[in-house]
């Protein structure tokens, strides 16, 4: 048996390239979400116009009194968000939440500026360089805050109107004050608070904790063979400052997947698969109920939208005076409210059906309504004295153009009951 010392055996490791990197996907989703965040108010996809009291949804201008549609739309959106929390945990936070998108952007800009100043001001002392980088970064955050606040307030005030106010530096009206306050809050948020907001006051984080079940998607550390090399990269890359190895149920975890990428890279170099993964359990029964509720609100919204009248016509008899006699005719008085919920001109024409010899006494017929106009008015119906005494049912026909939609409203015409009243 040879006694010569044996050379240490070198084990050659075949690196494994991770099959997927979540960070680039996440950054693409961030860009898409930012575009949607900007587009929603500018193209009236979703916007609450407070000065005009309109709720813009899917390009339709809903009036505040169209309560059913607004209710179903808000409930549907609320359940979509809650459903996403149940199925995918805090993945919304990591991939789609504006707070996270802008917090990460703020951190990235800060680091990029520090590197830039480090490179360009080599002749300046370290502390001064640091101060220059910090001042530049605060300037960038301040400028970005004006833009972000503008987009946010656009959800409540018409964007062109808001731009005019911004150019006039209007801080006297409610919209101006709201814009200035939002700019300040946005600046403080993305300069100093950033991800701390997610771990302290964010209501979605708490909601997610309540909605999660055994099927909710998680980021999980799984190391049954105890091969973790304790490199700590998963902790260093975590923007939320946690160690996912402690537990997959930490409320701070926003399921961004950065630690999944980090571990896959490190362990891949050693020829092993990463130890951190996205994982979800079996489907809980709770989510079936949830899908039914979501379908209920989606159907309610679809029905309410399909029943929507572009031009609202409301007519009611004025019974403060049952009838009166004028020019040998008996007259009844009616009040009318019209609301053109479209952006185009509309015409409403009234006619009488089932009241022999009666005629309409109105200042205008058809009535012209500009887009978005609300109109209140009155008219009378005059009937010959030969009409039957007492209550005469008839129909008031309203025709709306363009479109030619007709509505037949059941009404009554009151005639005097005695010959003396005529």
Pick from 69, 149, 262, 355: which binds ligand SF4 (CB under 6 A)?
262
> Can you name the residues that pair with 375 across neighbouring β-strands?
338
Dihedral pair phi/psi, residue 308, rounded to 5°: -65, 135
Beta carbons of 26 and 257 less than 8 angstroms apart: yes
Which one among 110, 257, 369, 387 touches ligand SF4, defined by CB under 6 A? 257
CA distance 349 to 72: 32
Q: Is 273 in the site for ligand SF4 (CB under 6 A)?
A: no
Residue 395 near residue 354, CB atoms below 8 Å: yes
Nearer to ligand SF4, 266 or 338 (CB): 266
DSSP-assigned states of every residue in 263-299: HHHHHHHTT---SEEEE--PPPTHHHHHHHHHHHHHH
Q: Is 140 in the site for ligand SF4 (CB under 6 A)?
A: no
As measured in angstroms, the least distance from the Cβ of 237 to ligand SF4 is 6
Question: What is the DSSP pairing of strand 405-415 with strand 390-401?
Answer: antiparallel
Q: Are 348 and 366 in contact (CB under 8 A)?
A: yes
Q: Evaluate whether 377 touches 367 at the Cβ level (below 8 Å).
A: yes
Q: How big is the site for ligand SF4, counted in residues (CB under 6 A)?
A: 27
Q: Judge whether 114 and 242 are in contact, CB under 8 Å.
A: no
151, 191, 198, 242: which one binds ligand SF4 (CB under 6 A): 242
Q: Rank residues 113 and 259 by Cβ distance to ligand SF4 and give the closer one.
A: 259
- If one asks whether residue 341 binds ligand SF4 (CB under 6 A), the answer comes out as no
Residues, the chain:
422
DSSP 202: -
> x/- site string to ligand SF4, residues 178 to 217, per CB under 6 A?
----------------------------------------
Q: Which of 14, 17, 230, 420 binds ligand SF4 (CB under 6 A)?
A: 230
**Closer to ligand SF4 at the Cβ: 85 or 254?**
254
Segment lying near ligand SF4 (by CB under 6 A), choices 32-40, 61-69, 206-214, 229-237: 229-237
CB-wise, 234 or 346, nearer to ligand SF4? 234
Contact between 96 and ligand SF4 per CB under 6 A:
no
Among 256, 350, 355, 387, binds ligand SF4 (CB under 6 A): 256
> How far apart are CB 93 and ligand SF4 at their closest, in Å?
9
Establish if 97 lies at the interface with ligand SF4 (CB under 6 A): no
Alpha-carbon distances of 64 from 154, 286, 335, 372, rounded to whole Å? 18, 34, 22, 12
In the bound complex, what is the minimum distance in angstroms from residue 121's beta carbon to ligand SF4? 32
Distance CA 237, CA 222 (A): 18
Residue closer to ligand SF4 (CB basis): 162 or 234: 234
Q: How far apart are CA 28 and CA 96, in angstroms?
A: 10
Q: How far is the CB of 250 from ligand SF4 (least distance, A)?
A: 7
Quote the CA–CA distance of 45 and 53 in Å, as a whole number: 16
In angstroms, what is the minimal distance from the CB of 175 to ligand SF4? 37
- Distance between CA atoms of 381 and 247, rounded to whole angstroms? 77
135 binds ligand SF4 (CB under 6 A): no
Q: Which uninterrupted H or E stretch holds 178?
A: helix 174-188
User: Which tokens belong to 374?
Assistant: 């609300």
Shortest Å distance, C-beta 23 to ligand SF4: 10
Residue 369 touching ligand SF4 (CB under 6 A): no
Is 367 an interacting residue with respect to ligand SF4 (CB under 6 A)? no
Residues that bind ligand SF4 (CB under 6 A): 219, 228-234, 237-238, 240, 242, 244-245, 253-259, 262-263, 266-267, 275-276
């Amino acid at each position: 048996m040879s006694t010569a010392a044996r050379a240490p055996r070198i084990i050659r490791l075949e690196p494994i390239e991770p099959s997927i990197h979540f960070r680039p996907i996440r950054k693409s989703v961030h860009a898409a979400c930012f575009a949607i965040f900007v587009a929603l108010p500018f193209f009236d996809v979703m916007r609450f116009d407070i000065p005009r009291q309109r709720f813009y949804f899917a390009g339709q201008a809903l009036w505040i009194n169209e309560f059913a549609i607004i209710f179903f739309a808000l409930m549907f959106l609320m359940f979509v968000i809650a459903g996403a929390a149940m199925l995918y945990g805090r993945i919304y936070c990591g991939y789609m939440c504006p707070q996270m998108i802008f917090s990460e952007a703020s951190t990235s800009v800060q680091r990029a500026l520090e590197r830039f100043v480090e490179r360009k001001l080599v002749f300046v002392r370290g502390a001064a360089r640091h101060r220059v980088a910090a001042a530049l970064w605060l300037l960038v955050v301040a400028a970005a805050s004006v833009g972000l606040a503008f987009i946010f307030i656009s959800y409540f005030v018409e964007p062109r109107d808001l731009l005019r106010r911004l150019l006039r530096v209007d801080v006297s009206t409610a919209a101006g004050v709201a814009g200035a306050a939002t700019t300040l809050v946005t600046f403080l948020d993305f300069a100093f608070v950033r991800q701390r907001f997610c771990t302290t006051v964010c209501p979605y984080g708490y909601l997610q904790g309540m909605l999660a079940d055994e099927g909710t998607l998680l980021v999980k550390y799984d190391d049954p063979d105890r091969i973790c090399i304790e490199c700590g990269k998963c902790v260093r890359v975590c923007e939320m400052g946690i160690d996912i190895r402690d537990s997959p149920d930490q409320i701070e975890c926003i399921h961004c997947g950065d630690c999944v990428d980090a571990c896959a890279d490190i362990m891949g170099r050693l020829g092993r698969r990463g130890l951190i993964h996205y994982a979800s359990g079996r489907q809980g029964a709770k989510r079936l109920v949830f899908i039914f509720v979501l379908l209920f609100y989606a159907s309610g919204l679809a029905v309410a939208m399909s029943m929507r009248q572009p031009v609202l016509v409301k007519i009611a008899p004025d019974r403060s005076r049952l009838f009166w006699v004028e020019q040998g005719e008996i007259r009844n008085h009616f009040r009318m409210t019209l609301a053109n919920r479209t952006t185009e001109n509309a015409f409403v024409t009234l006619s009488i059906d089932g009241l022999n010899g009666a005629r309409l006494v109105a200042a205008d017929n058809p009535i012209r309504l500009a887009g978005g106009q609300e109109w209140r008015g009155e008219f009378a119906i005059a009937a010959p004295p030969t009409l039957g005494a007492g209550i005469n049912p008839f129909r008031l026909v309203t025709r709306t153009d363009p479109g030619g939609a007709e509505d037949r409203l059941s009404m009554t015409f009151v005639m005097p009951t005695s010959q003396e009243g005529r």
